[in-house]
Structures are given as structure tokens and as C-alpha cells.
Structure 1
């Protein structure tokens, strides 16, 4: 099995099942953290990258409710839902809510491991995208108020003269602000700046 960074978080109230899953995954050289309840996971999760094996039917907070709480808290972990035979409708709902896959208990170990590998690969890509997004946000935050105004108008396709008229400044001043925006955003071209604006939700 290809080694991927990140933790596999097991959230299941069945002690024996949880222990057997932890043993299986650790024997495949994976980092594993297991929790007996959704509340236990939420209390101990520190923002690590990884994926989750989530039982849909648990007391207090079930899998679907945990999935919703994670969305509200911006916890982005690829989820493989685990369900008993009678829980298939819940598993399907979890998939519609963004889970990556689901497995019906009992299942073969050979079926689980590729799903976990795939989920960890998704996690790696997700984590890299989040880092890139944060970097772009930090660069945008470094712009002055006027530079942000100019950037918004530039990516909207406005010419320097139009921007100058709208902001009540000279075209030369617009050129200076525009140059600073490109430099601070580390954008090598206008299309790159437009792409950054899209990622920031500015247009």
C-alpha cells in the first residue's frame, strides 16, 4: 500500500470493531486515531490532515449529524461511511452530503485498504489546495484598501482610464497601484490575477 501522509480517524462506538480496524490500518503502516463517539472526536481533533472512517449509527451524535457539524466547523476530511445493512439509506444520505464512499459491514480487509488509500490521496490534494487558498488570501490581505479597489476593477476588465475616473485618481496613479497589486499578489500576468480573484470569490 502506498504511504500517504495524514491520519486515519476512526469514529465508531463498537469497541471491538474499532480495535480491529486500528490494528489492520496500523499494520499497513498508517497513522490511526480512534474515537468511541462523535463528541470524543470533536473534543480531540486538532486540525490534522487525513481521512475518516465514520459509523453512521451511533448514540447521541450519529454519523450524519457529525458530518454536518464538521461542515459547520470547516473540518474538511474525506469520509468513508461505515454502515450496517439497515443503515444503507443513511449511508446514501451521507454520500449526498459529500462522503467519499461507503462500506456495508461486514466487509473484507482487502476492500477497505484501497478506499482508505484513495481517501488519503484526496486529503493530500485537499490540504495542498487549502494551503494555496490561504496563501492567496494572505497576499490579498497585504493589499491596501485602494489597491484592493484597483484589483477588483482590473480583474473586471476595466481599462486604466476607466478605473481612474471611477476612483477619482489619475491614470498614472492607477498604473502605480496596478503594478503594486501584481507584485504583492505575485501574479505574473493578468490571467493569473483573474484566477486568484476567482479563488477569493471577488468576481
Structure 2
């Protein structure tokens, strides 16, 4: 998993209390994570709309109690935009139930005020790392889809046979071609898909949701 670095991550701090915003911005700046601050949900949403659809990597620290848009309402609007940024709610004791519901609805986590600085920074770094891992997985899935699309019709036929667990000799008989030709297509498939074995190929395509019926 690629480690996150400050240079490719935005940390958005959204709170209607200027002292809280400034304090959190200083905290993350001191740890090497430059932060952007917003006085309310409307400002954050405006910035998010400008980034779509190239969202980049970011984490949102979102206060629950804000006016005119509360934290949960802001979060729902971010989701409606299709924004993938993990959201960590900052909440007072009386708002824990609201934050828990937000987490159930897809928020990353919440912290109850007052919280320890190290705990907050750790949670943010965990969210970044998890999001980076997800982004890498999505990139690999896109590569596999493109590789599949690049296969010739005959290679698709051989691929289907491989996924059914058939050996080269059986594939040759089923498709009416020589075993040497099967080996040629098999090598091309492995190269295009970036795998070294039929088992690895089946595993990757299974993760992609691509499979073949066994017979």
C-alpha cells in the first residue's frame, strides 16, 4: 500500500468557530499536513463542486453543529455530489448519536470533543491510507477492464476455457485448434492481463466480477 504524503492530500477543516479552525489548521501544519479551512458547509460544497469529477485525495473534518448547514446535511450533499472524500465528524457529547448515525450512513468516523491531538492526526492518516488503498484497487480494476477489452475474439474463447479449469489439450479439442496455438493465446492473455498463472488470472477476474460457468 502506498504511504500518503502531504503533497497530494487536502485536509478540509469545516467549523463555524474560527478558533477551532485555526487551532486544527496549526495542528496539521505542524505535522506536515497543510490544511484548508472553511467557515461552513456551503463553502466546502462550493469547493468540492469545483473539483468534480477529478476529486483527488482529501479528508474532511466536519463539525456537527453549524449554521445554516449542519454537518450531517453537508455530508449528505457531499454524497449526492458523488464526492469520495472520507468524512470524520467532530462532535460534542450531546451530538454523539447524530455522529454515530452519520457513520452508519457512510462517514469514516467521529471524535468527541475534547480529543487528543495525536488521536485526531492518527485517525486522519488512517483515513488517507485506506482511501489510497481503495484508489489503487480501482486503478487496478480499470487496468483489468482495459486488458479484457484488448483481447481478441479467440483469446476470449481461450480465456473462458481457462476459467473453467480446462487444460491446454482439452481447450484445443473444444475449440478445434492445436495445443501449440492454445499455448500461444494463453501466453498472450497472461501478458495482457499481467498474470503468471491461470489461478492468478481467475482470482483477479473474480475480484472484478468476471467469471465463467463451469462445465
1:164 and 1:89 map into 2 onto residues whose CA distance is 64
Instruction: Compute the TM-score of the two structures, normalised by the length of structure 2.
Output: 0.72
* Residues 43-92 of structure 1 deviation map (CA, whole Å, 9 limit, x = unaligned): 2334222322233455177244045326xx3x433332222333322211
Q: Secondary structure at the match of 1:10?
A: strand
Query: Which of these residues, 11, 14, 18, is aligned with residue 12 of structure 1?
Result: 14
User: Any conservation in 2 of the 1:8–1:33 contact (CA below 8 Å)?
Assistant: yes
Which runs of structure 2 are paired with 1:54-69 in the superposition (5 Å)? 54-58=62-66, 59=69, 62-66=73-77, 68-69=79-80
Query: Which of these residues, 41, 53, 61, is aligned with residue 53 of structure 1?
Result: 61
1:28 and 1:132 map into 2 onto residues whose CA distance is 31
Measure how far apart 1:93 and its partner are: 1.8
2:160 and 2:189 map into 1 onto residues whose CA distance is 10
Instruction: Compute the TM-score of the two structures, normalised by the length of structure 1.
Output: 0.76
- What is aligned with 1:32? 35
2:196 paired with 1:196: no
User: Any conservation in 2 of the 1:78–1:122 contact (CA below 8 Å)?
Assistant: no
Which runs of structure 2 are paired with 1:1-203 in the superposition (5 Å)? 4-5=4-5, 6-16=8-18, 17-35=20-38, 36-37=40-41, 38-45=44-51, 46-58=54-66, 59=69, 62-66=73-77, 68-69=79-80, 73=82, 75-159=83-167, 161=170, 165=174, 169-172=175-178, 174-203=182-211
Change (3 A) 1:79 1:163: farther
Change (3 A) 1:11 1:24: closer
Measure how far apart 1:29 and its partner are: 1.0
* Residues 86-122 of structure 1 deviation map (CA, whole Å, 9 limit, x = unaligned): 3322211222234332112343323312222222232
1:84 and 1:43 map into 2 onto residues whose CA distance is 29
Q: Secondary structure at the match of 2:37?
A: strand
Q: Secondary structure at the match of 1:62?
A: helix
User: Any conservation in 2 of the 1:143–1:181 contact (CA below 8 Å)?
Assistant: yes
Q: Secondary structure at the match of 2:84?
A: coil
Unaligned runs of 5+ in 1: none
2:76 and 2:59 map into 1 onto residues whose CA distance is 17
1:198 and 1:56 map into 2 onto residues whose CA distance is 40
The count of aligned residue pairs is 195
